[in-house]
Structure 1
Amino acid sequence: MENSRKGFIPVMLTPFSGNGDIDYKALTELTEVYLKAGASGLFANCLSSEMFELTDEERLKVISHVIKVAGGTVPVVATGTFGGAISKQADFVKRVNDLGTEAVIIIGSLLAEEQESDQLFNERVLELFDQTADVPFGFYECPVPYKRTLNAVQLKQFVETGRVIYHKDTCLDLAQIKEKLAVTADYPEFGLYDAYMVHAVDSLKAGSAGVSCIQGNYFPELIVWLCDNYNDPQLEEEINRVQQFLISNMDVMHNVYPVVSKYFLQKRGLNISTFTRRDVGIFDNNVVKEIEGLYSNYNILRNELNISVF
């Protein structure tokens, strides 16, 4: 998770069978797709994984399975906080850490209510640190149950403890990201990963360690390509084209997600069901047509950029 590495950390999907059970065979294939595309790490048990719809035991089994498939080739991070007393959250954090994760991810909105102060939130974070020995942590500014973002002062305070090595940023504000990068620049073990592809190139140039976005659940190799080439002056035209492609299709990729991304992966040849445990909207013919168009346009783009698909 080091700052010197510009990489893509996919927010992993959880495949389900038609009856709603976790499809571990498809999870193996999906994990291999991310790895073959060049992902530099994996974020298992996140919002895209439908983590709130999984039981504790399912969460642990999914994380363990991903770690096993990755086989040490890349680090795996995974969410470990799901509300309740800090002692309860600390216990689950330790169970996640014992599986072999690189960092256990904290969901800020599950440590404090929306109306509660940053000071109280900070105190609970430090209390969680105290109750979890030397477990490495990360933060995810998850939009569910509400989005609590960290400011630069808070992030610096937590990184200075030596316990925080990862941050998935969803503030959608490049100026704030630059502030966070500035105050954590002296900590090479820490990496900030931006989720917002609209300013991904600028974020990478500003010093972010990489990106962690849902677009990688459609075409991970394109996100890897952007991380590899974002600063190449000879590819400026192509980089701008990729950036605009991501911006232009933002709404399409978010609508009825993650059903739509699973459908897209089906078209790529992955044996994955579109089943989801969450109510994300209606996957109707209009949505299908939009994804068909996205698939066609992406194939044109990747062929012109000479990007291989695995």
Structure 2
Amino acid sequence: MKSALIIGITGQDGAYLARLLLEKGYAVAGTSRDAQMARTANLRLLGVADKVTLHSASPSDFRGLWQVIEKARPDEIYNLAGQSSVGLSFDQPLETFESVAVATLNILELLRLLGRPVRFYNACSSECFGHTPEPANEETPFKPRSPYAVAKAATCWAVANYREAYGLFACSGILFNHESPLRPTRFVTSKIVSTACRIAAGSGERLSLGNTDVVRDWGWAAEYVDAMWRMLQHPEPEDFVIATGRSHSLMEFTAQAFAAVGLNHADHVDTRPELLRPADIPVSKGDPSKARELLGWAASKDMPLVVKEMVRAEQERLRLQEKCS
């Protein structure tokens, strides 16, 4: 039986990855800053909360993480932790850099000192590329435009450095946007879907958005964690761009969400300048050719299907909430 340690197991990607690895027969452990107080809602929704072992540890706590790795003895480590909101990173740049870049460097240094054949996956981000009117691939230069993107770019270079200098099996997945019903409402996609569903249910509210002209490549989170796993099964450690290869504007995403609940978005949406970010990426496009060719991975759900799945799940959640109230 293989074993895996997921750092950041309670988030969207951590929960889906835990379920995938359990289905593949892994023994799965995960970390939270306080295992006894961890928010395990995502794990419970996927039916795996009682099938994983939770440990208390912060990625920036060298000694604590060392102890967890000694207990779990993982064959694979997935680093999915850290501040994950681009917008929030402008308000908390230092916290973002420490929880993302410094924590990743801490893990890499720990693996170097342990000297065991552990395979390491690092969650990188398409935000590192910045504006990409032409689809970005693994050779596209980084041009980060937010504190979050700067931190993620630093992790990608750190992983590449430790791979080259110390022979670690370490790789980064440069993932484009990937969504699911497990997204917290601070993410604009979840905000759009949940608000559209409430309006359709008669809330009478309006949806306020910032720049709706931005273009993104949206995929389905449960498929993207499969790409993470495939990277660690590849014979050699390499970095991969993970995307659908199809991009849409935020207004198109919004229109799809309202259409899915039988409404015209134009009747319910306002754009507000105070919601604009200090800097934003106009267009983000990804080229997943390498993942398709070397990993046999390709996304089956692009934005329209992702929106339908999110709306269906949110409507079901609202029905259950109403039934229980």
What is the TM-score when the length of structure 2 is the normalising length?
0.32
Larger radius of gyration: 2
RCO comparison, higher one (Cα < 8 Å, 6+): 1
More strand by share: 2
